[in-house]
Amino acid sequence: MSKLRLRGFEIHKSYLSRAGQRDLIDALRPVLKAAPLFSPTIPGGSKMSVRMTSAGAFGWYADTEGYRYVAQHPRGMGWPEIPSSILAIWHDLTGLERQPDCCLINYYGEGARMGLHQDKDEADFSYPVVSVSLGDDGLLRVGGKNRSGKTDSVWLSSGDVVVMAGEARLAYHGVDRIRFKSSRLLPKGGRLNLTLRVVT
Protein backbone atom coordinates (compact mmCIF):
# COMPACT_ATOMS: atom_id res chain seq x y z
CA MET A 1 0.00 0.00 0.00
CA SER A 2 1.22 3.52 -0.79
CA LYS A 3 -0.26 6.98 -0.29
CA LEU A 4 -0.13 9.96 -2.61
CA ARG A 5 -1.70 13.40 -2.65
CA LEU A 6 -3.19 15.10 -5.68
CA ARG A 7 -4.57 18.62 -5.16
CA GLY A 8 -5.44 17.74 -1.58
CA PHE A 9 -7.03 14.40 -2.48
CA GLU A 10 -5.44 11.70 -0.32
CA ILE A 11 -5.16 8.54 -2.41
CA HIS A 12 -4.42 5.25 -0.67
CA LYS A 13 -3.23 2.96 -3.46
CA SER A 14 -3.91 -0.78 -2.97
CA TYR A 15 -5.52 -0.10 0.42
CA LEU A 16 -7.65 -3.24 0.03
CA SER A 17 -6.08 -6.62 -0.70
CA ARG A 18 -7.62 -8.85 -3.33
CA ALA A 19 -9.29 -10.86 -0.56
CA GLY A 20 -10.54 -7.64 1.05
CA GLN A 21 -12.05 -6.56 -2.25
CA ARG A 22 -13.88 -9.86 -2.65
CA ASP A 23 -15.16 -9.60 0.93
CA LEU A 24 -16.64 -6.15 0.15
CA ILE A 25 -18.34 -7.50 -2.98
CA ASP A 26 -19.87 -10.29 -0.88
CA ALA A 27 -21.06 -7.72 1.69
CA LEU A 28 -22.62 -5.62 -1.08
CA ARG A 29 -24.67 -8.44 -2.64
CA PRO A 30 -27.55 -8.29 -0.09
CA VAL A 31 -27.47 -4.47 -0.24
CA LEU A 32 -27.91 -4.47 -4.01
CA LYS A 33 -30.65 -7.10 -3.74
CA ALA A 34 -32.56 -5.05 -1.14
CA ALA A 35 -32.01 -1.73 -2.92
CA PRO A 36 -31.50 -2.38 -6.66
CA LEU A 37 -29.46 -0.06 -8.85
CA PHE A 38 -31.39 2.65 -10.71
CA SER A 39 -30.61 5.34 -13.29
CA PRO A 40 -31.49 8.84 -12.04
CA THR A 41 -32.85 11.56 -14.28
CA ILE A 42 -31.04 14.85 -13.69
CA PRO A 43 -32.24 18.45 -14.09
CA GLY A 44 -32.59 18.99 -17.82
CA GLY A 45 -34.24 15.61 -18.31
CA SER A 46 -31.31 13.36 -19.29
CA LYS A 47 -30.45 10.07 -17.61
CA MET A 48 -27.16 9.61 -15.83
CA SER A 49 -24.88 7.03 -17.46
CA VAL A 50 -23.95 5.80 -13.98
CA ARG A 51 -26.43 3.55 -12.16
CA MET A 52 -26.67 3.92 -8.40
CA THR A 53 -28.17 2.95 -5.08
CA SER A 54 -27.32 3.62 -1.43
CA ALA A 55 -27.04 2.17 2.06
CA GLY A 56 -27.47 3.95 5.38
CA ALA A 57 -30.02 6.35 6.84
CA PHE A 58 -30.10 8.37 3.61
CA GLY A 59 -29.54 7.78 -0.07
CA TRP A 60 -28.42 10.31 -2.66
CA TYR A 61 -31.04 11.01 -5.32
CA ALA A 62 -31.50 13.14 -8.41
CA ASP A 63 -34.47 14.03 -10.59
CA THR A 64 -35.68 16.96 -12.67
CA GLU A 65 -36.22 18.97 -9.47
CA GLY A 66 -32.59 18.74 -8.38
CA TYR A 67 -30.13 16.81 -6.20
CA ARG A 68 -30.74 15.76 -2.60
CA TYR A 69 -30.66 13.04 0.02
CA VAL A 70 -33.82 11.02 0.64
CA ALA A 71 -34.84 8.44 3.25
CA GLN A 72 -36.27 5.91 0.77
CA HIS A 73 -35.29 4.06 -2.40
CA PRO A 74 -37.32 5.10 -5.49
CA ARG A 75 -39.34 1.88 -5.05
CA GLY A 76 -40.48 3.09 -1.63
CA MET A 77 -38.46 1.01 0.83
CA GLY A 78 -35.85 2.26 3.28
CA TRP A 79 -32.17 1.90 2.49
CA PRO A 80 -30.33 -1.13 3.93
CA GLU A 81 -27.68 -0.67 6.61
CA ILE A 82 -24.09 0.09 5.64
CA PRO A 83 -22.06 -3.14 5.98
CA SER A 84 -19.63 -3.16 8.90
CA SER A 85 -16.69 -3.97 6.61
CA ILE A 86 -17.29 -0.70 4.72
CA LEU A 87 -17.68 1.29 7.95
CA ALA A 88 -14.33 -0.14 9.08
CA ILE A 89 -12.62 1.65 6.16
CA TRP A 90 -14.20 4.97 7.21
CA HIS A 91 -13.09 4.61 10.82
CA ASP A 92 -9.57 3.48 9.89
CA LEU A 93 -8.86 6.35 7.50
CA THR A 94 -10.72 9.18 9.25
CA GLY A 95 -10.31 8.28 12.91
CA LEU A 96 -13.78 9.66 13.52
CA GLU A 97 -16.31 8.23 15.97
CA ARG A 98 -19.13 9.73 13.91
CA GLN A 99 -20.46 7.22 11.42
CA PRO A 100 -21.43 8.18 7.86
CA ASP A 101 -25.14 8.54 7.16
CA CYS A 102 -24.88 7.40 3.55
CA CYS A 103 -22.88 5.00 1.44
CA LEU A 104 -23.61 5.95 -2.16
CA ILE A 105 -22.95 3.04 -4.53
CA ASN A 106 -22.24 4.00 -8.14
CA TYR A 107 -21.89 1.40 -10.88
CA TYR A 108 -19.98 2.37 -14.02
CA GLY A 109 -20.71 0.10 -16.96
CA GLU A 110 -19.03 0.31 -20.35
CA GLY A 111 -19.00 3.94 -21.54
CA ALA A 112 -20.25 5.38 -18.22
CA ARG A 113 -18.68 8.53 -16.80
CA MET A 114 -19.28 11.17 -14.14
CA GLY A 115 -18.90 14.84 -15.06
CA LEU A 116 -17.08 17.36 -12.91
CA HIS A 117 -19.08 18.10 -9.76
CA GLN A 118 -18.82 19.09 -6.11
CA ASP A 119 -20.17 16.99 -3.24
CA LYS A 120 -22.14 19.79 -1.59
CA ASP A 121 -25.55 18.39 -0.63
CA GLU A 122 -24.40 17.64 2.92
CA ALA A 123 -25.08 19.86 5.93
CA ASP A 124 -21.52 20.00 7.32
CA PHE A 125 -18.49 20.14 5.02
CA SER A 126 -16.04 19.66 7.89
CA TYR A 127 -16.55 15.91 7.59
CA PRO A 128 -14.59 14.09 4.86
CA VAL A 129 -15.89 12.00 1.99
CA VAL A 130 -14.28 8.57 1.65
CA SER A 131 -14.37 6.90 -1.77
CA VAL A 132 -13.65 3.19 -2.42
CA SER A 133 -12.90 1.81 -5.91
CA LEU A 134 -13.80 -1.78 -6.83
CA GLY A 135 -13.50 -3.43 -10.24
CA ASP A 136 -12.34 -1.73 -13.42
CA ASP A 137 -9.84 1.13 -13.46
CA GLY A 138 -11.36 4.63 -13.47
CA LEU A 139 -9.72 7.89 -14.56
CA LEU A 140 -10.32 10.37 -11.73
CA ARG A 141 -10.06 14.06 -12.68
CA VAL A 142 -9.65 16.58 -9.89
CA GLY A 143 -9.62 20.36 -9.83
CA GLY A 144 -10.24 23.16 -7.36
CA LYS A 145 -13.27 25.11 -6.19
CA ASN A 146 -13.86 26.65 -9.64
CA ARG A 147 -15.32 24.38 -12.29
CA SER A 148 -13.33 26.06 -15.07
CA GLY A 149 -9.98 25.81 -13.26
CA LYS A 150 -7.00 23.61 -14.07
CA THR A 151 -7.42 19.88 -13.45
CA ASP A 152 -5.17 16.85 -13.01
CA SER A 153 -5.97 13.18 -13.49
CA VAL A 154 -4.97 9.85 -11.95
CA TRP A 155 -6.05 6.29 -12.65
CA LEU A 156 -7.75 4.54 -9.72
CA SER A 157 -7.54 0.76 -9.53
CA SER A 158 -9.58 -1.79 -7.64
CA GLY A 159 -8.80 -1.54 -3.94
CA ASP A 160 -7.77 2.13 -4.00
CA VAL A 161 -9.41 4.46 -1.47
CA VAL A 162 -9.58 8.27 -1.73
CA VAL A 163 -10.17 10.63 1.19
CA MET A 164 -11.54 14.09 0.34
CA ALA A 165 -11.03 16.49 3.24
CA GLY A 166 -9.81 20.02 3.87
CA GLU A 167 -9.07 21.84 0.62
CA ALA A 168 -10.29 18.83 -1.39
CA ARG A 169 -13.68 18.56 0.32
CA LEU A 170 -15.44 20.99 -2.04
CA ALA A 171 -13.12 20.54 -5.00
CA TYR A 172 -14.56 19.67 -8.40
CA HIS A 173 -13.90 16.09 -9.44
CA GLY A 174 -15.26 13.49 -11.84
CA VAL A 175 -14.55 10.20 -13.61
CA ASP A 176 -13.80 10.70 -17.29
CA ARG A 177 -13.84 7.04 -18.30
CA ILE A 178 -13.18 3.49 -17.17
CA ARG A 179 -11.03 0.76 -18.66
CA PHE A 180 -13.87 -1.69 -19.19
CA LYS A 181 -12.99 -5.26 -18.13
CA SER A 182 -9.55 -4.23 -16.89
CA SER A 183 -10.38 -6.11 -13.66
CA ARG A 184 -11.78 -9.58 -13.04
CA LEU A 185 -13.39 -8.66 -9.72
CA LEU A 186 -16.86 -8.15 -11.24
CA PRO A 187 -17.79 -11.08 -13.53
CA LYS A 188 -19.54 -8.83 -16.08
CA GLY A 189 -17.00 -6.02 -15.86
CA GLY A 190 -17.53 -2.46 -14.71
CA ARG A 191 -16.55 -0.35 -11.73
CA LEU A 192 -18.24 0.04 -8.36
CA ASN A 193 -17.49 3.22 -6.44
CA LEU A 194 -18.59 3.53 -2.81
CA THR A 195 -18.64 7.00 -1.27
CA LEU A 196 -19.21 7.43 2.44
CA ARG A 197 -20.68 10.75 3.57
CA VAL A 198 -21.98 12.43 6.73
CA VAL A 199 -25.27 13.96 5.61
CA THR A 200 -26.85 15.74 8.59
Q: Which residues neighbour 188 within 8 Å (Cβ) at sequence distance 6 or greater? A: none
pTM: 0.96
Q: How far is CA 160 from CA 4, 41, 80, 179, in A?
A: 11, 29, 24, 15
Predicted local confidence at residue 1, as pLDDT: 83
* CA atoms of 188 and 200, how far apart (whole Å): 36
Tell me which amino acid residue 162 is: V
Over the chain, what is the mean pLDDT?
A: 97
Mean per-residue pLDDT for 82-92? 98
Hey, where are the domains in the chain?
A: 2-197
Q: Report the topology of domain 2-197.
A: Jelly Rolls (2.60.120)
User: Tens digit of pLDDT for each residue in 119-143?
Assistant: 999 999 999 999 999 999 999 999 9
* 93 phi/psi in degrees, rounded to 5: -90, -20
What is the percent of the chain with per-residue pLDDT over 70, rounded to a whole number?
100
Predicted local confidence at residue 44, as pLDDT: 87
Mean per-residue pLDDT for 157-171? 97
* CA atoms of 92 and 104, how far apart (whole Å): 19
Predicted local confidence at residue 169, as pLDDT: 97
User: Tens digit of pLDDT for each residue in 7-57?
Assistant: 999 999 999 999 999 999 999 999 999 999 999 998 888 999 999 999 999
